[in-house]
Amino acid sequence: MAASPPPILSFLLLLILVLFATVNLAEDVSITTERKRKKTYIVRVDHRAKPAVFPIHGDWYVSGAFSGGSEPLDLLHVYDTVFHGFSASLEPGRAADLRRNPAVLAVFEDRVRRLHTTRSPQFLGLRTRLGLWSLSDYGSDVIIGVLDTGIWPERRSFSDRNLTPVPSRWRGGCDSGPGFPASLCNKKLVGARFFTKGHDAAFPEAAALADADGGVNGTAAEFRSPRDADGHGTHTASTAAGSIAFGASMGGYAAGVAKGVAPKARVAAYKVCWKSSGCLDSDILAGFDRAVADGVDVISVSIGGGEGVASPYYLDPIAVGAYGAASRGVFVATSAGNDGPTGMSVTNLAPWLTTVGASTIDRTFPADVVLGDGRRLAGVSLYSGEPLAAALPLVYPGRTGGLSASLCMENSLDPKLVRGKIVICDRGSSPRVAKGLVVKEAGGAGMILANGASNGQGLVGDAHVLPACAVGAVEGDALKAYVAAERSPVASIAFRGTVVGVKPAPVVASFSARGPNGLTPEVLKPDLVAPGVNILAAWTGAAGPTGLDADGRRTEFNILSGTSMACPHASGAAALLKSAHPGWSPAAIRSAMMTTAAVADNRGGFVADESTGRPATPLDFGAGHLNLGRAMDPGLVYDLGDADYVAFLCALGYQPSTIQVITHAPVTCARSASASASDLNYPSISVVFDGGAANRSQSRTVVRTATNVGTSADVVYRVRVEMAASAAVNRVSVAVKPTKLAFSAAAKRRSFAVTVATAAAAVPEPVYGHLIWADGTHEVRSPISVSWIQYM
């Protein structure tokens, strides 16, 4: 048996161990603190500055040139197609050091973006064996890259039956991963990739959970592969380019033949968004970079801008990535956002993007609330379970339970109050379908979701987990008045299935984001609207139609609403136009969509704004509703290229070094006192007057150049201007010179000037109208917006 050490020695050994542990603990705390301070940054580098000694840019980025004497950078992504640079997880001090590096053009923080969450091809004017579908062979050789939540490839919408071989120019591939062997790609789904590094750096806990089992069964509810756990990406991809699927429906609703806008186009899925945590800028930029390198023709991005005020174009990775794509001939469509009808809510503002708002189609899913006094209040629903057997007591928890109860927030309902009853819930603050789950878990038998004043009469169908329907603000007020007045109020809900041929349609959806453009009001946004309400498309096998974890139902198709659903309609349309006109630039394709957009509904009246019931304005729907029956042959287009965008950015006052962050190549700005952002050769015209000088006369002249793309080389177009009645009230006049444009084989491009003037007595309220060039066959229509802005 060994002898025990002397007491003093034992004490010293214990003291050393305590001190050692304390030092280690302090080091651990220091390391943890340092890690907590780290953020992901995107670094834009002047790639021309790379020394020849480095074979590739990635080697240069991890060299001493960027480490500054510290340990080499741990890169997340290296960008080398639409953008040159890298992303890395850095302490703020090291990011500041990088900003001082002469080879670095810009450094900006990674941000989280959010997803902007059939019959629609026919409603767009597409007809089998006729027009654009026939002339483009349904988009057969065009490849659409979808930046979203991934894809569920087993759906019929991604069948490659009867498709020709994949175009030989395609350079992409399939990333394998848990639940997604590369063999799932085919002649339809030609590529599938996923990007996790930005997400993992921002959400390490979620990454660790997913890594534990590949994300197949973990609490992160995600797949570490291109497989779509959310459903959003599957829905948007099939909307743009889904193959024909007979016998499609969602629980019996919208039964018929499902197909995408470009049913023979190919799909490449780029998973840049994650179900639990959204989309990171660094991953989005990596998706753009890879999609263009792979060889896509069109990119569809149903992802929203960051929170709050819009970032300048050079600090917006979606804008920067899209510029790199557009400069290589790739058309990029983006969603406008779902924060309407609030003004200046539109996102994705760059003029090289096509920004798409949402409208209704002529199909709805009515459900009536029948009150005990016999009144019927109209609503909508996609509930497909057992209906209510009889009228039940009706209750509004907001009368006594406060705001959270009125909104049916989690744990806000008293089971004693709602058990066995139909519960009225106010819309807002939580997902619509989540309110139904709260009611169900509290013992409620049904739900009526009532719009507030901000939502007006705009209704969206949902596949609720209990008998439920949505009603407009007027009906909601009537319901609450009935409950307050009756001693024993009762109601029932009658579900009436699918109704086609609804009038009026289209209508601008109340949730669709509105202008003006908060960054550059001289560029009208949104550009146009497309079907985005109650759209049937393919769905994931990993989630129920509500997307709630508690929803155990599974369905091949789902019906969703949002500008996310509108965007892929424009992406599919671009694929058809690209197939029919392979020489057209992205700007020419957008111009064709915009100048042929419809401003009349199916009753012959002007397209209305759902939130007000009044005629929509260009700030609501841009140029109008996508109309592919006419876009194939627009007559004239307003084309744009890199030089035009550079001149636009110079007119905004951007310095050449700042512009280079967007354009890659170095630029110079010509000094011109007359340069104006309004002169960008855009298919719409937005004139902004000084609101501080509204009591005196003002005028602005903008210039546009039209290119003849019609079948006749020798043609003459004549102009007319149609202004709303408010133009007379505000004493606004519009003059065009020349009033006639003569084209020939030798003169395919003609320029004209538009002068907008206002008298001293004008009232500074927005004025709208249209400029139309007509040759007897074509009508080339551009919206006009005149506004007054008070500059600080």
Check if the beta carbon of residue 791 is closer than 8 Å to that of residue 692. Answer: yes
Q: Contacts by 750-753 with C-beta closer than 8 Å and gap 24+?
A: 750/705, 750/706, 750/708, 751/703, 751/704, 751/705, 751/706, 752/703, 752/704, 752/705, 752/706, 752/719, 753/701, 753/702, 753/703
d(CA 474, CA 478): 6
User: Catalytic positions, please?
Assistant: 148, 232, 564
Report the first-to-last Cα separation within the chain, whole angstroms: 88
Q: What Rg, from alpha-carbon coordinates, does the chain have?
A: 29
Q: 602: closest CA among 458, 500, 722, 721?
A: 500
Amino acid 340 reads G
CA angle, 617 as apex, 330 and 593 as ends, to 5°?
A: 25
* Residue partners of 555: CB distance under 8 A and separation at least 6: 250, 251, 539, 544, 545
Nearest partner of 93 among 165, 25, 38, judged by Cα: 38
For tokens 């063999």, the residue is 183
CA distance to 391, 442, 767, per residue, from 614 (Å): 36, 40, 15
List Cα–Cα distances, 213 to 178, 201, 219, 502, 705, in angstroms.
9, 19, 10, 48, 58
Stated as kind and residue range, the H or E segment containing 578 is: helix 563-580
In whole angstroms, what is the distance from residue 512 CA to residue 314 CA?
26
Dist CA 73 CA 204 (whole Å): 18
Q: Are 514 and 345 in contact (CB under 8 A)?
A: yes
Q: 317-326 and 281-294 helices cross at what angle (nearest 10)?
A: 10
